[in-house]
Amino acid sequence: MSIAGLTFGAYPLGIAGTPTGLATGPQDDFEKIQSAFKELQGNSAKVLARNYILYMGPGSEERMLGAIEQHRQHGILADLTLGCYQEPGVPLDGWREFIRQVVRQFGKDLDLLQITNEPNLSFMEGSKPFVVEALVGGVLAAKEEIKTLGLTLPVGFGSVPSGPAALPNFWKDLANFGGQKFAEAVDFVGHNFYVDVFEEPLPLEKVPSEAERILRDLRENLLPVAGIPATVPIHITENGWPTGKNAYFGVERTYEQQASVLETVVRTVYRLRTELNITHYEFFELRDADSHNDDIFHQFGLLRDDYSPKPAFYVYQNLIRELGA
């Protein structure tokens, strides 16, 4: 297997999740978003805009479909993740039908469709007792609808690395519930990982080995448990390194460090791309939620909240042009 280069992308909006709620700031400016994506892309292949829709149960469909339509109108509908956050005890029929509706209405506009974002994270989707059923049923429903419509839209699901916050039996449960039919339906596995973001920063020279450890664990240890073969590609669906301060450690994270870590991680992913079958890398996020708030969860952006570039923006631009597919 030989992978010529990576397909790159980024989450385009300002709002971001935090352990205590949402990080918000100035309104999104879609003209500036489109301009930034064009600048990142240059003459290279398409840079994907990655967005998230959270299904909240029966009655939320119209609002969620409307939000996807807005993404389409603003030119940021490419890589779409659907998360299931309905209350336990509600049948999943509505969730599966919602996925089918998304495929019918937007499938031809999408490059990728991901079912669940962080299903094995214990305090996110993984807190729902039905998460494995929602994941498996959602992937199969999407694939059935895609086949019916004659589309070629790849469908996958998300994950996070092993650790104290990850569900310990998730991959075994996925194998037991999904079986071979599910494993054969999966076109990619998305992986969200952040090297040293939630801990004290690592010395730069230790970042490559930590990134490699995380990616090898997924490919060599976790995916085989679920019966997912090495022929199914890994997509890095969230990775980033914020500026600002970590509230727990009080360590200042500078613009220059952000740029250095970004380049180091992307080059590590690129080096491993053929061996581990990694085809995509998407950065979180394009712009800060609020550049005036020095908490790190408000400053993940390649751009400040006024869309002025940090040094990492130009580093990412150069990496896309050098290493892009």
CATH code of the domain containing 313: 3.20.20.80
Whether 229 is in a domain gets the answer yes
Report if residue 118 sits inside a domain. yes
- Establish if 2 belongs to a structural domain: no
In a domain, 100, yes or no: yes
Total domain count for the chain? 1
For residues 46 and 7, what is the distance between their CA atoms, to the nearest angstrom? 8
Using CA atoms of 177, 179, 182, 186 in order, give the dihedral in degrees to the nearest 10: 110
Q: Is the model's pLDDT at 2 over the cut of 70?
A: no
Confidence of residue 1 (pLDDT cuts 50, 70, 90): low
Q: What is the mean pLDDT of the chain?
A: 96
Whether 298 is in a domain gets the answer yes
pTM for the model? 0.97
* pLDDT score at 246: 80
Q: Which two tokens stand for residue 285?
A: 């996020």
* Cis ω before 285 (30° cut-off from 0): yes
Residue 294 lies in a domain: yes
Cβ density class 265-283: b for 16+ within 10 Å, e for less: bbebbbebbeebbbbbbbb
Identify the band that residue 3 occupies on the pLDDT scale cut at 50, 70 and 90: confident
Domain that holds residue 151: 7-323
Average pLDDT over residues 282-290: 98
Establish if 1 belongs to a structural domain.
no
For residue 16, tell me if it sits in a domain.
Answer: yes
